[in-house]
């Protein structure tokens, strides 16, 4: 196998953690539409069921720094795959167990821990094996895998929906939607054993011969030795960290963590997962589609998400991270603005759908992949594990907040009254997107084509050396 082929193979395997992230996101959209009817859930319990996985995501992300540092990126992915499998199997059981909803929440939390762990381990693993000039597109594989999982699960749930009657889907069809996730779970679990360990992690653990062998499979001999030397020198410069605890409140550290964490949180405050998790509800209740069409519209949404991710993969190492983020965020505002106008003036229909699709397409070509690319590469080596863990945990906490709050706000009397006329959630999301534009323009810098060590130097020039 060629070096490029090997690099793409191991990147694709690591990115399967993203595929399960996307699959889990999509499966709750379709399944909750029917299980909510089955258990007659009100808006509070609907939000609790959907957001329960996100509580697990927060816990998984918060502990991921220690796990990936102690056990390695590869072993962290294997642990995540096991958790995904347990969750997928258990989530289909509640309808045949007593105290159904509490059990469903427990299994969703288990899956969430797996997602939280994989959402840090996979991008970091890919960033640490990728050559600098290819890192943007390779880390984007993670986001591509997310949207592939999201797209595939909508095809699967749409097929299950059409296989059974409305009554059968309410009674048991949603269980099969959850169990369908077992197929990619077993695939990820099997393939995760074949990828090599991260060369940076191996050098950090003193396993230099193994690290050299991995680098030789990815780079030409001279480039592999150069990469090995750069990593080793970088880690040697950090050796005092073993005896000197870093003060994370110092000027050279805290601003970087805050910038990364705010970027991570803003990805969720755009409302992306409110649309992805509750798409079926939005199409039925806000836009007036009948029950036969809601999952069909969700498939269209997933297809746009999938297609525009390729735009990001093409552009991220050409246009750069920051320009793509700014362009995409402006497009997201335009999409929600169109949706809000159609809702407010009560002429919902094709223009409303176009507004949602513009929003999704703009997210897929920008903030979706760009956030993961930047988070995986922006933090200095000395603080990467802790900073990435904090940023990803904050993202999942924000995701949980938005996911829980969306149905409560959307179904509130305030939102459905004459003042807002169903537009309040989208006005809130657009306000955050405007703040994101201001924040990105002021605080983010371009990292295109730079090695991880060069990015460390950019931060040092701005905020000083980490002590």
C-beta of residue 186 within 8 angstroms of C-beta of residue 97: no
Closest CA to 3 of 218, 150, 314: 218
CA dist 217 and 7 (Å) reads 8
Residue 205 forms part of a structural domain: no
C-beta of residue 124 within 8 angstroms of C-beta of residue 68: yes
Residue 432 forms part of a structural domain: yes
CA dist 69 and 384 (Å) reads 10
Residue 431 forms part of a structural domain: yes
CB atoms within 10 A of CB 434: 12
Phi, psi (degrees; rounded to nearest 5) at 118: -65, -30
Give residue 339's pLDDT. Answer: 94
Phi, psi (degrees; rounded to nearest 5) at 326: -65, -45
Structural domain that includes position 171: 3-195+238-463
Closest CA to 301 of 277, 334, 267: 277
CA dist 406 and 429 (Å) reads 11
Measured N-to-C along each axis, helices 272-281 and 350-364 cross at an angle, to the nearest 10 degrees, of: 140
Tokens of 101: 């909803």
Give residue 197's pLDDT. Answer: 93
Burial class (CB in 10 A: 0-12, 13-18, 19+), 9: middle
CA dist 295 and 234 (Å) reads 50
Number of domains observed in the structure of the chain: 1
Tell me, letter by letter, the H, E, C secondary structure of the chain. CCHHHHHHHHHHHHHHHHHHHHHHHHHHHHHHHHHHHHCCCCHHHHHHHHHHHHHHHHHHHHHHHHHHHHHCHHHHHHHHHHHHHHHHHHHCCHHHCCCHHHHHHHHHHHHHHHHHHHHHHHHHHHHHHCCHHHHHHHHHHHHHHHHHHHHHHHHHHHHHHHHCCHHHHHHHHHHHHHHCCHHHHHHHHHHCCCCCCCHHHHHHCCCHHHHHHHHHHHCCHHHHHHHHHHHHHHHHHCHHHHCCCCCCCCCCCHHHHHHHHHHHHHHHHCCHHHHHHHHHHHHHHHCCCCHHHHHHHHHHHHHHHHHHHHHHHHHCCCCCHHHHHHHHHHHHHHHHHHHHHHHHCCCCCHHHHHHHHHHHHHHHCCHHHHHHHHHHHHCCHHHHHHHHHHHHHHHHHHHHHHHHHHHHHHCCHHHHCCCCCCCHHHHHHHHHHHHHHHHHHHHCCCCCCCCHHHHHHHHHHHHCCCC
CA dist 440 and 447 (Å) reads 13
Tokens of 78: 């294997």
Give residue 237's pLDDT. Answer: 67
Give residue 286's pLDDT. Answer: 62
**Cβ-count burial 315-337 (b if 16+ within 10 Å, e if not):** bbbeebbbebbbebbebbbebbb
Residue 215 forms part of a structural domain: no
Q: pTM for this one?
A: 0.76
C-beta of residue 27 within 8 angstroms of C-beta of residue 178: yes
C-beta of residue 440 within 8 angstroms of C-beta of residue 322: yes
Q: List the CATH number of the domain containing 180.
A: 1.20.1250.20
Residue 223 forms part of a structural domain: no
Give residue 212's pLDDT. Answer: 92
Residue 203 forms part of a structural domain: no
CB atoms within 10 A of CB 5: 9
**Cβ-count burial 192-202 (b if 16+ within 10 Å, e if not):** beebbbbbbbb
Closest CA to 378 of 135, 62, 69, 77: 135
Residue 84 forms part of a structural domain: yes
User: How far is C-alpha 124 from the chain's CA centre?
Assistant: 13
The rounded average pLDDT for each run of 10 residues, N- to C-terminus, in the chain (467 residues) is 87 92 80 82 78 84 86 94 93 62 88 89 88 83 86 87 87 90 94 92 90 88 86 71 69 94 96 81 68 70 87 89 95 97 89 92 93 89 84 87 88 93 96 97 89 86 86
C-alpha angle 322-325-329 in degrees, rounded to nearest 5: 145
Residue 378 forms part of a structural domain: yes
């Amino acid at each position: 196998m060629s070096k490029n082929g090997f690099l793409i193979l191991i990147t694709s395997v690591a990115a399967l953690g993203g595929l399960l992230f996307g699959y889990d996101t999509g499966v709750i959209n379709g399944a909750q539409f029917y299980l909510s009817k089955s258990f007659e859930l009100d808006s509070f319990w609907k939000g609790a069921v959907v957001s329960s996985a996100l509580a697990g995501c927060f816990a998984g992300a918060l502990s991921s720094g220690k796990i990936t540092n102690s056990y390695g990126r590869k072993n962290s992915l294997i642990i995540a795959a096991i958790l995904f499998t347990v969750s997928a199997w258990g989530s289909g059981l509640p309808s045949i167990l007593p105290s159904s909803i509490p059990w469903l929440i427990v299994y969703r939390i288990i899956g969430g821990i797996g997602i939280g762990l994989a959402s840090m381990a996979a991008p970091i693993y890919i960033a640490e094996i990728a050559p600098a000039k290819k890192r943007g597109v390779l880390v984007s594989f993670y986001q591509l895998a997310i949207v592939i999982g999201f797209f595939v699960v909508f095809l699967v749930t749409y097929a299950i929906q059409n296989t059974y009657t409305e009554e059968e889907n309410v009674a048991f069809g949603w269980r099969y939607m959850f169990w369908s996730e077992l197929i990619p779970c077993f695939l990820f679990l099997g393939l995760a054993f074949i990828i090599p360990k991260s060369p940076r992690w191996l050098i950090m653990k003193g396993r230099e011969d193994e690290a050299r062998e991995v680098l030789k499979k990815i780079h030409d001999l001279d480039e592999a030795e150069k990469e090995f030397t750069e990593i080793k020198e970088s880690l040697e410069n950090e050796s005092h960290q073993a005896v000197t605890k870093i003060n994370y409140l110092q000027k050279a550290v805290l601003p970087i963590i805050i910038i990364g964490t705010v970027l991570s949180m803003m990805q969720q405050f755009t409302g992306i997962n409110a649309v992805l998790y509750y798409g079926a509800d939005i199409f039925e209740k806000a836009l007036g589609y009948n029950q036969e069409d809601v999952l069909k519209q969700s498939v269209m949404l997933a297809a746009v998400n999938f297609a525009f991710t390729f735009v990001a993969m093409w552009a991220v190492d050409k246009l750069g991270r920051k320009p793509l983020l700014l362009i995409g965020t402006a497009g997201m505002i335009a999409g929600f603005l169109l949706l809000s106008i159609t809702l407010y003036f009560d002429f919902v229909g094709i223009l409303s759908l176009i507004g949602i699709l513009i929003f999704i397409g703009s997210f897929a070509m920008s903030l979706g992949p760009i956030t993961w690319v930047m988070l995986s590469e922006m933090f200095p080596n000395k603080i990467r594990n802790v900073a990435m863990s904090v940023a990803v945990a904050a993202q999942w906490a924000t995701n949980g907040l938005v996911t829980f709050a969306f149905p409560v706000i959307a179904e509130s009397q305030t939102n459905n009254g004459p003042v807002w006329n169903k537009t309040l959630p989208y006005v809130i999301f657009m306000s955050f997107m405007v703040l994101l534009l201001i924040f990105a323009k002021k605080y983010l810098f371009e990292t295109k084509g730079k090695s991880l060590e060069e990015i460390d130097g950019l931060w040092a020039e701005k905020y000083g050396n980490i002590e």
